[in-house]
Amino acid sequence: MLIINGTAELMKATDHLNKGDRYEFNMFSLNMPLEDQLTQIEDYLVTRGWDNIEVTNNGIIDDPNVIEHQVLQSAYAKAKNEGFAVTINNQALV
């Protein structure tokens, strides 16, 4: 499973996040390599209200047992079933 870390700008306000602010994200993709997934990753995020996406890091997770955070474990499981999943850090970057 591919894991992608980066930042993106929120293009529409939500109850918890501010439009125009930049947030960190973690994303899981069932398909690899990253270079082959960039268009699909962008489409996935843009349809969910994110733009100006910057990928800062990526890697491969071979064993989901190394994921310790419950939110990331849930995202991993979702990506395994649906192909993609993203988590957003709910604190804007300053």
Tell whether the model's pLDDT for residue 16 goes beyond 90.
no
Q: Confidence class of residue 34 from pLDDT cuts 50, 70 and 90?
A: confident
Residue 94 counted as domain residue = no
Supply the pTM of this predicted model.
0.87
pLDDT at site 26: 96
Q: What is the CATH number of the domain that holds 73?
A: 3.10.510
User: What integer best gives the mean pLDDT of the chain?
Assistant: 93
**Domain limits for position 7:** 2-88
Residue 13 counted as domain residue = yes
Residue 39 counted as domain residue = yes
Closest CA to 4 of 65, 66, 43, 54: 54
Q: How many domains, the chain?
A: 1
Reading phi first (left if > 0) and then psi (alpha if -120 to 50, else beta), residue 42 is in alpha
- Indicate the length of the chain as a whole number: 94
Residue 9 counted as domain residue = yes
